[in-house]
Amino acid sequence: MAIKKIDKLKYLIEKEGSMRVPAVVFANEKIFEKIVEDKSLEQLKNVASLPGIVGKAIGMPDIHWGYGMPVGGVAAFDAEEGIIGPGMIGFDINCGVRLHITSLVFEDIKDKIDKIVKKMFELIPAGVGLSGHVELGKKEMKNVCEEGARFVVEKLGFGSPDELENIESYGCIEGADFSAVSEKAYERGRDQLGTVGSGNHFVELGYVEKVFKKDIAEKWGVFEGQVTLLVHSGSRGFGHQICEDYLKVALRWCEKNRAPLPDKQLAYMGINSSEAKSYISAMKSAINYAFSNRLIIAHYAKKALADALGIKAESLGWKLIYDVAHNTAKFEEHFVDGKVRKVVVHRKGATRAFPKGHPELPGKHREIGQPVIIPGDMGRYSYILVGNEKAMDESFGSTCHGAGRVMSRKQAIKSARGRDIRQELLKKNIIVMAREVHLLAEEMSDAYKDVADVVEVCEEAGLSLIVARLKPVGVIKG
């Protein structure tokens, strides 16, 4: 393929063959050498070949091979004449991350980390097929799907009302319709609220190791040494089933309409079709479910922290910085080719990063910019970023979402053979508990890019700015 380095941090895949638009990848030379080792750029070219795409197909520095569309990919389609594709959002709809801060400092917890991690592992179901603390009947499930986090706060009694403005879209995407969800999806999701799942999902206890932008950090209440809590999870089996159901619908739509399809995994539906409208209603249901899921997980993490420390939860100074989605398609307005267009932005393993002044942000975030939470790997660090104006011009208001894999799970397990990952982490003063031991090999630091490199590319490219670095001290996984 024709790849041209057009500046220090940007690589252009020129339009060729069936591509309708060019593609661009944000990366430095070190990261790009890893990117070309898999098929993610071929996948990005396929996305650039789809009908209705506008601007460019975009790859973030954490890009890697995924289902149909690469993880770390962004693509926008015309909202009137474009398409929507389940594979371009992914199976884990609204996989995302939330960050809580506390009034505690590391000295307050350093001798009780083991106790805290054990308590979190006891209270928070982490692993495949586990049920949560909440089981929903059809009526309550409909409420969660259509009203999102507000219903969970006001009717189920988790979290607090002041959290809502610190969740992307206030924890509820309007237009969700539970009637578009299959019975099988309901059955898979009815008892999984408040569960972490497996893979790269986790709950992480840590602290603020370094503040880089003190003015912004102070406005958020973030300071060095502060104890933090990260939750990384999504819509669990509920969202997975919705994706599975509608991929079949999309494939039938493509066959019926003889639509050009470079890869069956990219099966799509015309945006105005009845099939697309049903999928959008179901996808929004999964987005709202995932916001609710992370909120409930955080409730039990807060309880675990307070119980382990032997103090009241009210004494923690518990505050939500932000909860942000990774895998979504959203209707937004962006400048494209010199004019404002309404588009459907598909973000798959990418984070919305709106700058200060953006009308979709609530008051206090509009004054500062949207917080962007970037989890790294369990052996290194994570970051808090803030959205920047240039992202609106370069990436449809998007930035990276994490470190990005450099090894498949099978490769990681093979590479870790003979090593004790848990002990390696313990030597770094990081306590990890996992239900499946092989997950520690799959998720070891070597399997990922260094997230510091990834966020630095995003900052230098102007997509988002680094505010603070977090250090993990305790992690639970599935």
Would you please indicate which residues are annotated as catalytic (active-site) residues?
A: 401
Integer CA distances (angstroms), 328 to 241, 285, 355, in order: 15, 11, 19
Integer CA distances (angstroms), 217 to 224, 420, 471, in order: 10, 37, 16
Q: What is the C-alpha separation between 148 and 298, in angstroms, rounded? A: 15
Pairing assessment for the beta strands 53-64 and 226-233 based on DSSP bridges: unpaired
Give 309-322 as a DSSP string: HTS-GGGG--EEEE
Residue 244 burial by Cβ neighbours in a 10 Å radius (0-12, 13-18, 19+): middle
Q: What is the C-alpha separation between 328 and 88, in angstroms, rounded? A: 9
Tokens of 321: 């910085």
Q: What is the C-alpha separation between 60 and 402, in angstroms, rounded? A: 10
Backbone angles phi and psi of 259, in degrees to 5 = -80, 140
The answer to whether 371 touches 99, Cβ cutoff 8 Å, is yes
* Residue 285 host element (H or E): helix 274-309
The 10 Å CB-count burial string (b at 16+, else e) for 197-225 is bbbbbbbbbbbbbebebeebbeebebeee
Tokens of 233: 């999870």
Residue 214: partners with Cβ closer than 8 Å, 6 or more residues away: none
Integer CA distances (angstroms), 120 to 85, 103, 169, 204, 442, in order: 37, 19, 28, 10, 21
User: Which amino acid is present at 187?
Assistant: E
Q: What is the C-alpha separation between 442 and 92, in angstroms, rounded? A: 18
Q: What is the C-alpha separation between 426 and 290, in angstroms, rounded? A: 31
The answer to whether 12 touches 47, Cβ cutoff 8 Å, is no
Q: What is the C-alpha separation between 149 and 334, in angstroms, rounded? A: 27
Task: Give the 3-state secondary structure of residue 350.
Answer: coil
Where helices occur in 178-235 by DSSP H, the ranges are 183-189, 214-220
Backbone angles phi and psi of 229, in degrees to 5 = -140, 120
